[in-house]
Structure 1
Amino acid sequence: MDIDLSPEDAAFREEVRAFLRDNLPDAVKAGAAATPSVFVEPEIGQVWNAVLNERGWLGYQWPKEYGGTGWTPLQRYLFEKECALAGAPNLTVLGLKLLAPVIWTFGNEAQKAFYLPRILSGEDYWCQGFSEPGAGSDLAGLKTRAVRAKADDGGDNYVVNGSKIWTTHAHHANRMFTLVRTNPDVKKQAGISFLLIDLDTPGVSVRPILTVAGDHEVNQVFLENVVVPAANLVGEEGQGWTIAKFLLENERGGSCHAPKLGYDLDQVERAAREEGDGRGGKLADQVEWRRRVARARLGVEALEMIELKIMSEIAKGRKPGPQTSLTKLLASNLRQEIDLLAVDLYGPAGLQLDMTRPLYGETAPEPIHSNGAQLAAPRYLNSRAWTIFGGTNEVQSTIIAKSVLGL
């Protein structure tokens, strides 16, 4: 695989670098750096989204006909890498990268015309209703029920009852894309449908779940006799499992993880040159520390080669396929490894766990020792979820064994 950039792609990279240098707000960058979780708050994320949307770059993974850039897979990768290296916040992935491809692939023309522009403008902020209290890794076991019913005015609706859990940013969202059971009498995968729900609808309630790190990132959503227009069904009834697999491929492999992991590892290495080892030297000079950093660095570089390989397959018109499970598995383990390095780097100061949020801005609590030390424990605890969300490590290993290795 040739990984040298063409003159055109090198020029594109320089254009992205110049744009980031001139347009990434300092407050947004600082807020992203002081956010322990994967998802930045809308007060940061939506500001950055608006900057990119004004440039016409927000839908950088979208086809041109739907308001996207029409960039090549390599250009998309270069854009994500430069954003990571510049310290830009993660984009609001749920609408932009997960739902939007579902809408333009499986949605009807009315759904495309209505929802896609609202995702770009920020008018709609989406959350994902997949997992349930009894259906996490076994997603096909979901029980949230949607029953087709005629309204008094003759309209065609679904009445939805059930609950969703670990619903990221449901407390900020105005809409949720969700999996529901529309037919309980067939094979469980065949009875699932994909439905769009307005969270302002009567019968919807959101209960916060505070993580052990102190973050309000996830929620439980309750649906009690929620009336949803049948026009909000995406695809056909019973097609939800197919759509969910398509979406999860994008979730697990639709972004490049390696550049962000490499950026965070750089920050840890830089701090280690300043931190004492308790023996009169610097932690960066310790052989065991350098060995751990080198192991993580090799893992990040190997992951980037895999991501580039997947990108080259996409450029040839092939689907990312089960290889995305490999990137998800490796990225999750590396995320936790790097965050553990940060905790070990700061020693006792890295154990501070201030539950106040946010950890940026004028109301942020005063750190003990340094901002990096203040973030170490919250990030470490938050990243425990990496090996669970988007499919557990065990699920990813099974997919790899069956679909990639043929075992």
Structure 2
Amino acid sequence: MEFIDLKQQYNRYKDEIDLRIKNVLDKGHYIMGEEVFELEKELAAYTGSKHAIAVSSGTCSLFIALLALDVQPDDEIITVPFTWIASSEVISLTHARPVFVDIEPDYYNINVSLIEKAITKKTKGILAVNLFGQMADYEALNDLAKKHNLFVIEDAAQSFGSTQNGIHSCKKTLVGSTSFFPAKPLGCYGDGGALFTDDDKLASKCRAIRTHGGEMRHHHPYLGLNGRLDTLQAAILLAKLPHFNQEIEARQKHAEYYNELLNGIVETPEVMDSNTHVYAQYTIRVEERELLINALKKEGIPSAVYYPKCLHEQPVFEHLGYKLGDFPEAEKASKQVLSLPMHPWLKKEEQELIAEIIKTHASHYPIEALQCC
């Protein structure tokens, strides 16, 4: 059983993907070829954004956003400790300080009610992460940011394709960022990412920073980096994009069936009333996680933990001065979350087998023990 079945996806779209790749090879324009600009146009239209800027990775897109927003050493950027390291890594690379705020337990995203206490005179912005496939509460986030004159960056690496009150992920804030890492709901065959904004000046600056800070060849008004998306990766994404909404619908149907099978057995994902969810990961919560991981593994079923350690527990962030107990919901989630196989071609029989194994071991993690979480 595959955790994410990229081989089947390729076989289904093989002719379209191969043709797109062949066209790039025939033209020989491997860096900033026309497919990159075609992809940007398609991505902007998909999200409803004025600008899409294709870049070399999701990490790069966040870094470019911070540079374009002129984040300075000793600025503070509020974010969460329960996520992949890239979200705070890029803040530190600008020599700013990540300031962590705990998550709320139902959706795993930033707890907006705790942000105001973390704001200081040094706070410049909020980098909110959309975990597992749905968006944080951007209505509340944007209102709070406006009150305190802060920017908001939407880290949509796991939520691209989702919506909030009918508005697409990457469109809800000053700047949105996503990843096209192969395992994402929309992924290429290497690293890739994109930035989204309606701000003309910000878009122009992001494009310049993406190409060594140059607005034109040999004219560099900004410090930048090599953040370009390869033309071949753009071509692959162009072949996949027309199928993306159909894949999202399949993921949502599989999630509904998981919910039906596992209701009352483990804690299943919740979706905010205003949100749609793309289930980049289908994530449950269990008390005795290792027991279940091993039981699934014995039957050849893969699973994954996103993420087993919070960022304030990582050695690289020790200097921030946080300690265990500072973010109880994030810490609890890191000990309990488990992601099950999820992709558009998951079979009902596979889901039923997974559910049966979970039910067999349910005595080790009764739902009553999770009601506090």
**Which has more radius of gyration?**
1
User: Do both proteins adopt the same fold according to a TM-score greater than 0.5, normalized to the shorter chain?
Assistant: no
Relative contact order, higher structure (CA 8 A, sep 6+): 2
TM-score between the two structures when normalised by the length of structure 1: 0.26
TM-score between the two structures when normalised by the length of structure 2: 0.28
